[in-house]
Structure formats: C-alpha cells, structure tokens
Structure 1
C-alpha cells in the first residue's frame, strides 16, 4: 500500500483529502503543523507528500525545498496545492513535482498523485 503524508492547516481539507485517499487504497498520515515535519516524514516514509503552500505556522514551499535537499526525500514526489494561485508566481521554483490550485478537482489531485507514483492511467 502506497503512503501519503499530507500537510494542511485547514482541518476540513485534511479530513476530506484523507478520506479521499483512503478510499483510493492509500495509507494516509496527516498533520496541520510544520513543527517536526521532516522527522515525521522520516518516521512515516511516505511515497508522496502533499503540502499546502500558505500555512499558519510556516510555508509549504520552504518545506518542499528542505525535503528535496534531504537525501531521503530528494526523489519523493511532492505536490503543492494552494488557493494562492497567481499567474506570475511559479510554485515549481520550490522543487515540487506538481502544483494544484485550490479549490481543487478531486480527480485532478488523485490523478496527479497516481501519475507521480507511476500508476498506469485508466483508459476512458
């Protein structure tokens, strides 16, 4: 079973996304704080990480940079999702593998996650 680590400071989003990925047969761990995020990731060993960009106690972009610089996570896919989508702002500068704007489409989030994890896409 593939594992997802999810960071968002909005408890409702955490609950919805957690339920969504559990239904998709992923193991999910969530947190609403940046505090000790890297040690949490080291313990959980996720296959992919989903980060909110704007957090009440940190910045998902900076966490992404730290993850991509960390030997254990440099190849772990990271998705940043945020309501802070601006046409002149490039979220890829943080090293993420995908950016998804909030409000997000459930199929888009699941599809991006599955694609980054190497799942084959189903034909329509």
Structure 2
C-alpha cells in the first residue's frame, strides 16, 4: 500500500516544493491549488494525511480542516495546518481540530518529520 499525502494550498511554488520533498521520502503526493468539495477530494485521493493552508483563495482552510475532522468518514485522517498568518488564526480561536500546526515560513525538515510522525502506522512506503 502506498503512503499518500494530500496537500491543499493556493501557492503553486509551495505545492511543487512539498511534492518534491515528500516524494523524496517515499510518499505519493496529490496537490490541489483549490477545492470545491473537500469530502469528495479527500475520499477520491484516499490520502492517509492532509496538509492544508489556513488561508486559501476564497476559502478558509481552517473550516476545511474542521469539516474533515467532524465527518466520520474522514475524522481519522491526520491534518497538518500551515499558515503565514498565525495571528489571524489565533484571533479566530484557532481550534479547527488540526493534529499539528506549522507557521510559514517553516523548516522543510520539520514538516517532513511531522508528516513521518503523524502518518498512520502500518502503512508501507511504495
């Protein structure tokens, strides 16, 4: 079974960077610059872990995270939320159910370590 990560961010350069870094670690990476139906995207991707930006183009990534976490079909999937707007997140209460939060800019090795630690055990590298 492959280890798949779904990355949702509207910055294509960051998507390329994360795809390259996580692929080098043996992950299969699906990248989405925007999303209309979070449930459909998550279910179709069959991801074992999701990385989502807090501020997306016209969408609140925190709300996407919350939707993932309250849906019984997806609530078990670890979610890492990333943002360059930590103060905005904190001012809004900041509890969307994410399993981990990283503030941009983040150290790439810290992100990779976080993914490795949060990814469901028992999944093997492709």
TM-score above 0.5: yes
Residue in 1 aligned with 2:99?
A: 97
Post-superposition offset of 1:35: 1.3
| Kept after mapping to 2: 8 A contact 1:8/1:51 | yes
Residue in 1 aligned with 2:85?
A: 84
Name stretches of at least 5 consecutive residues in structure 2 with no aligned partner. 122-126
State the alpha-carbon separation in 1 of the partners of residues 76 and 120 from structure 2.
13
Name stretches of at least 5 consecutive residues in structure 1 with no aligned partner. 120-124
CA offset digits 1:69-119 (Å, max 9, x no partner): 11121111000000001298153x100000000011011101111111256
TM-score, length-scaled by structure 1:
0.89
Number of paired residues?
Answer: 118
| Kept after mapping to 1: 8 A contact 2:38/2:68 | no
| Kept after mapping to 2: 8 A contact 1:5/1:29 | yes
Moved over 6 A (4+): none
State the alpha-carbon separation in 2 of the partners of residues 73 and 115 from structure 1.
19
Residue in 2 aligned with 1:19?
A: 20
**Larger RCO, structure (CA 8 Å, separation 6 or more):** 2
Q: What is the SS of the residue equivalent to 2:87?
A: coil
Evaluate the alpha carbon distance shift between residue 87 and residue 4 of structure 1 in structure 2; reply closer, same or farther with a 3 A threshold.
Answer: same
Residue in 1 aligned with 2:108?
A: 106
Q: What is the SS of the residue equivalent to 2:30?
A: strand
Residue in 2 aligned with 1:35?
A: 36
Q: What is the SS of the residue equivalent to 2:36?
A: coil
TM-score, length-scaled by structure 2:
0.87
